[in-house]
Amino acid sequence: MPDFIDITDLHMRTIIGINPDERVNKQDVYVNVTLETDCRPAAASDDINDAVNYRDLCKDIIDLVEGSSFLLVERLAEEIAKICLADERVQWVRVKVDKPGALRFAQSVGVTIERCRDDFHAQWSS
């Protein structure tokens, strides 16, 4: 059975969107990530070197998001998935990016994508 690591409601500010004001003013985004990995080696050894280091992963995601200026939330989610799958221990990832206030009568608009290691091996070898 697979194991999962969840990172919930990682709050950042970035340039995201297609409207002129969105290209100038940073907006809030919330990122949720679920990673499929095998936690048994880390559980057995109690050694961070045998685990997906989610602290380092969060730093990489924050650096990407806060330093980016993508037009589409879809692109941002895809780039986050690539960061997660860069760790060979991650077999599958679900990334959800929410953009609060994007629609007048909605609390938030979000995009959720799922990617697996095979998706990226095919993409990288093309």
- d(CA 110, CA 14) in angstroms, rounded, equals 15
Region of 92 please: left (phi>0), alpha (psi -120 to 50) or beta.
beta
- Nearest residue to 36 (alpha-carbon basis) of 63, 2, 69: 2
- d(CA 7, CA 33) in angstroms, rounded, equals 5
- d(CA 65, CA 59) in angstroms, rounded, equals 10
Report strand pairing: 92-100 vs 3-14. unpaired
99 catalytic? Reply is yes
Catalytic residue among 59, 82, 96, 99: 99
Show which residues are catalytic: 99
